[in-house]
Amino acid sequence: MLIAGVDIGNNSTEVAVARIGGDIQFLSSALVRTIGLKGTLRNAMCVIDAVDKAMAAVSMTRNDLDLILLNKATPVIGDVAMETITETVITESAMIGHNPDTPGGLGLGQGVTVDIRDLTQTAPGAPCIAVIDGGVDFTQAAEMINAAVAKGVKITGAIVKKDDGVLIYNRLTSPIPIVDEVQHIDKVPLGMPAALEVARVGRSIEKLSNPYDIATLFELSPEETRQITPIARALTGNRSGVVIKTPKGDVQERRIPAGTITLVGETAKETVDVELGADAIMEKLARVAPLKEIQSQPGTNAHGMFERVRTVMAELTDQPVSLIKIQDVLAVNTLQPQHVLGGLAGEFTRGTAVGLAAMVMTQNIPMQRLAAKLKEETGVEVEIGGVEAEMAITGALTTPGAEAPLAILDLGGGSTDASIIHRDGTVKSIHMAGAGDMVTMLINTELGLDDPDLAEDIKRYPLAKVETLFHMRHETGAVEFFDAHLDPSLFGRVAILGENGPIPIMHDLNLNQIVNVRRKAKEKVFVRNALRALEQVAPGGNIRLIDFVALVGGSALDFEIPEMIADALAEYGPVLGKGNIRGCEGPRNAVATGLCLSRKGC
């Protein structure tokens, strides 16, 4: 009997092909990217592709198969529910805080904003800041400023639309700080008090990044000082900045509440305000475990997120929304760049946020439909095999040196699963929301990339700073030299050390910043989920009573996650390592292998 065990994951689909007679002989395996949401009809394409690849490896076709076994992925479908819920702060003020490559001059200037064409009409002695739009070139601008200065006008700085800061500065008789490349200079109000600051090369502004200095310059009240804080935060780290007091001289702030969620367990119910942060949510979750459902406060961000998840899952699985239940949630604290309304050069400030990953429970119907679809497409008998977690631990036991009792952590893209098998063969398992996809989301959000593919690469590979075309400094501090020059596009950039060579990151981010965000994201998701998953399956909820833990799944191949989890589990004492399924597959193919083994002796 020739069978194919198929494990459909959130990101990848794995196949193991085995011949079963008196014994079992594994013939081949294959791995492809999952198409469509796990457990839906679209998976049929990737399953067929994976089966064909595995059969081709042994010079056979799918027609030679007697049976295809699918993992019982439903009723749990996870990890499409990730959204960042944040408290949105909108500040209405006028400010410029970007980092032009070459601002002109140096220092702090303060005065009233004046169109450069009106400088000659300005009263002598009154401090002013020249506003130079795109209709005036650098030579004209320098001549107009010099002429005004000659008449006694006190010009303390200039705001320029074009990249002309240095060109103007080099032609001035009296040096002033100049901020250039201001895209929306038409929105700069004229006749308003303003302050402008340019720092030395390699330094950042000090006055306009300090709310108390801004308050001093504009004589703000304590309440106005509190409200100006997002502007100061947004300017922190910039080499230049401008703050302009708005026409009414006020700063308005509007807050959008994140809302409350109610966690409904088997015997208890807890309500928590999302604003209290991830730790408060997870503490309440632990009190009500096991979670049966989540209710959210209507009219809030939290409510919108959970209802959107239910609606999407209902459409994908063709089931009523009422049958979609939130089975688990993982909350993590994060930072999210927020656009500052009133900014004139696209300024952002980093606001606190709570990221939520939700796992959704549906009925078993979708998997049955997928099995029927596959049978129709392939002409091969298709059955739904054992429970995914049980199959994973059966496959993990093929790791050389492993035996029951054994616990596994299945680190996937959408969920983190844990199982434990005891000496008597009994198995206990748990599914947790949040895994590799949530890490990617956190990296994408906190670094402000707006590029999930780039965030995925940052998650998967180590980084280095290309300091010259002939050497780079790795994130570990090691320096690597090259005989031939590197691609010039890498010069001065942080690069991702991918499988096909260095990939430059074309964002203004430094190496330490990216590494810190990446590692913290992995700790928040994988380390936290590993601990709470093992607590759920451990005898008496005590991880110290687990002797052996094997990591399986795609994320177990990550270059730093196993080490992070090992460090976190060190105080509990279990032996931890990456599984090596059948002694040849590494941590992959555990479920597919377990499915084949489940038919051993049939």
**Strand order across the 415-421 sheet:** 427-433, 415-421, 406-411, 548-552, 575-578
pLDDT computed for residue 99 by the predictor: 59
What three-state secondary structure class fits 70? strand
pLDDT computed for residue 449 by the predictor: 87
Pairing between β-strand 406-411 and β-strand 415-421 as defined by DSSP bridges = antiparallel
pLDDT over threshold 80, residue 517: yes
pLDDT computed for residue 411 by the predictor: 85
pLDDT in tens, 70-114: 987 654 444 333 344 433 333 445 555 555 667 888 899 999 999
| Rounded alpha-carbon distances, angstroms, from residue 94 to 186, 231, 376, 462, 551 | 12, 9, 63, 40, 52
Alpha-carbon distance 552 to 531, whole Å?
A: 15
pLDDT computed for residue 256 by the predictor: 52
pLDDT computed for residue 261 by the predictor: 87
pLDDT computed for residue 13 by the predictor: 92
pLDDT band at 436 (very low <50, low <70, confident <90, very high): confident
**Tokens found for residue 164:** 């002309």
Question: What are the backbone dihedrals phi and psi of residue 471, each rounded to the nearest 5 degrees, phi first?
Answer: -155, 155
pLDDT over threshold 60, residue 438: yes
pLDDT over threshold 50, residue 241: yes
pLDDT computed for residue 374 by the predictor: 92
Higher pLDDT, 337 or 431: 431
What's the full length of the chain, in residues? 602
**Tokens found for residue 519:** 């590692």
DSSP-assigned states of every residue in 75-124: TEEESS--EEEE-EEEEE-EEE----SS-BS-EEEEEEEEEGGGGGGSPT
State which of 222-226, 290-294, 452-456 shows the largest mean pLDDT: 452-456
Amino acid at 388: E
pLDDT in tens, 2-11: 999 999 887 8
pLDDT band at 199 (very low <50, low <70, confident <90, very high): confident
- Unique residue bearing structure tokens 């807050």: 255
pLDDT in tens, 351-389: 677 777 777 766 666 778 889 999 999 999 999 887 777
Higher pLDDT, 528 or 85: 528
Higher pLDDT, 446 or 301: 446
Residue 302 · residue 258 · CB < 8 Å: yes
Q: Going along 321-369, which residue ranges are E strands?
A: 325-339, 348-361
Higher pLDDT, 84 or 155: 155
pLDDT band at 140 (very low <50, low <70, confident <90, very high): very high
Residue 337 · residue 304 · CB < 8 Å: no
Alpha-carbon distance 602 to 592, whole Å?
A: 17
pLDDT computed for residue 187 by the predictor: 75
**Residues in CB range of 283: below 8 A, 6 or more apart:** none
pLDDT band at 342 (very low <50, low <70, confident <90, very high): low
Q: What does the pLDDT average to over 266-294?
A: 87
Amino acid at 536: Q
Q: What does the pLDDT average to over 548-560?
A: 90
Which segment of 229-243, 251-265, 327-341, 537-551 scores lowest on mean pLDDT?
251-265
In degrees to the nearest 10, what's the CA dihedral of 571, 572, 575, 578?
-80
pLDDT computed for residue 257 by the predictor: 64
**Tokens found for residue 241:** 């900045």
Q: What does the pLDDT average to over 260-285?
A: 88
Q: How many CB atoms lie within 10 A of CB 298?
A: 10
**Tokens found for residue 10:** 């959130």
Higher pLDDT, 393 or 227: 393
Q: Long-range contacts: 151-155, Cβ < 8 Å, 24+?
A: 151/120, 151/124, 152/124, 152/125, 153/119, 153/120, 153/122, 153/123, 153/124, 153/126, 153/128, 154/111, 154/124, 154/125, 154/126, 154/127, 154/128, 155/111, 155/119, 155/127, 155/128, 155/129, 155/130
pLDDT computed for residue 85 by the predictor: 40
Q: What does the pLDDT average to over 145-160?
A: 91
pLDDT computed for residue 330 by the predictor: 85
pLDDT computed for residue 130 by the predictor: 93
What average pLDDT does the structure give for the chain? Answer: 84
Q: What does the pLDDT average to over 337-341?
A: 61
**Tokens found for residue 11:** 């990101």
pLDDT computed for residue 448 by the predictor: 83
Q: What does the pLDDT average to over 499-516?
A: 91
Closest CA to 335 of 126, 570, 128, 84: 84
Alpha-carbon distance 466 to 286, whole Å?
A: 45
- Crossing angle for the helix pair 365-378 and 301-317, to the nearest 10 degrees: 40
What are the residue ranges of helices labelled H in 151-194?
A: 165-169
pLDDT in tens, 397-418: 999 988 888 999 988 877 888 8
Residue 37 · residue 80 · CB < 8 Å: yes
pLDDT over threshold 80, residue 49: yes
pLDDT computed for residue 502 by the predictor: 93
pLDDT computed for residue 31 by the predictor: 94
Which segment of 78-87, 266-275, 315-324 scores lowest on mean pLDDT?
78-87
Alpha-carbon distance 358 to 311, whole Å?
A: 13
pLDDT computed for residue 563 by the predictor: 92
| Rounded alpha-carbon distances, angstroms, from residue 247 to 92, 194, 365, 469 | 11, 11, 61, 50
| Rounded alpha-carbon distances, angstroms, from residue 528 to 285, 331, 332, 535, 568 | 13, 10, 9, 11, 9
pTM, to two decimals: 0.71
pLDDT band at 40 (very low <50, low <70, confident <90, very high): confident
